[in-house]
Homo-oligomer: A and B are copies of this chain.
Amino acid sequence: MRPPKTGPADGRKSDSLTMADLAKVAGVSAITVSRALRDSPLVNPETRARIAEIARQYGYAFNVSARNLRLRRSMTVAVVVEMKPTLERQMSGPYPLDLLGGITQELTSSGYSVLLTSLQGGALSHVQAADGVILLGQGAHEDAMHEVQGWGRPMVVWGAVSRHESHVVVGSDNRRGGALAAERFLALGRSRPVFLGDPAHAEFAERLEGFAGTLSKYGITPFTPMVSSFTVTAGAEAVHALLAQHPQIDALFAASDLLAIGAIRALIEHGRRVPDDVSVIGYDDTPLGATYVPPLSSVHQNFIDAGVLLARKIRTLIEGQPATSETLPTHLVLRAT
């Protein structure tokens, strides 16, 4: 038995006003309210306006759960992010936020909700409810990828495009990014370049491929010292070790700005001048790099656009249409290094 409904006039705050209630007030049926509120062309414009006004006036709040149950979809996209409080994470800096911004903007404006999850705890049940899943940073989520794919749910991944043919990946053009750095070094006449970054990360591997591939046309093979993590200190340590063996290096391309900054620090400690003795290019074009002294040259990617694209892809997939992997343009921002 439904409790007696009270209008706003009697002062009691009725916290759940339904379409049926509005219908009663408007003197129509619930389905007409439903249609009116969705701007259906089936309903008389006047009726529609009147109902809209009543809804507004009564503070009606649409019940998303009811619609979702009826429609058998959640109108929700889960975004899985790596948010462990670690300095070693790749998804640090403002980029994930830009990515999230792009995703959210595009998705909310097309009627979807964005569900943020980290997959740390037992968050899987939340993700299961979503109509689609966006994975940010495939590196950390290889297992999550398979899990999600096992559910047969639409999925889009942000990461290295080349690696996995089995699902839709959006990523920036890491190969081109690497090639751009190589071209720059060649133009400067540098002949002993270094690549700094762990190729175990798919995206880094692509950057190295583009870098080494372009250099190889000129018979140059870059040094590729071991780097275990993404931190400033890791970059510095790698360069320290490298200089001991190969003091003659004259150019350095790092897979992230953080590594590049660490490298510059180490270079300077060893008496090398940047960029006079050693040219340095970073990756991601972070504010950190841009405000560093000297301001760091870096390969730029537009994360907001990337987010929008990810969102479009997942929507396409959810709507049952095919989507393909895509690569985003990249360009080199030249600064002091």
Contacts and interface: CB of A to CB of B under 8 A. Distances in A.
Given A79-B116, A120-B109, A152-B15, A65 B129 contact: yes
A84 B292 CA distance: 24
A101 B64 CA distance: 26
Contacts of A116: 79, 100, 104, 114-116
Contact of A288 (B13, B83, B287): B287
B83 A74 contact: no
Nearest to A286: B288
Contacts of A28: none
A1 to B, nearest CB: 16
Interface string A82-102: 011100000111101110110
Contacts of A62: 125, 128-129
A63 B287 CA distance: 43
Nearest to A61: B128
A64 to B, nearest CB: 4
B101 A85 contact: yes
A108 B120 contact: yes
A244 interface: no
Contact of A292 (B93, B100, B152, B292): B292
A109 B121 contact: yes
Nearest to A293: B293
Contacts of A108: 117-118, 120-121, 123, 126
A97 B98 contact: no
A16 B72 contact: yes
Interface of A: 13, 15-16, 59, 61-66, 68-69, 72, 74, 79, 81, 83-85, 91-94, 96-98, 100-101, 104-105, 108-109, 113-118, 120-123, 125-126, 128-129, 151-152, 232, 258, 261, 287-288, 291-293, 304
| A-B pairs, 3 with minimum CB distance | A83-B101, A65-B68, A64-B129
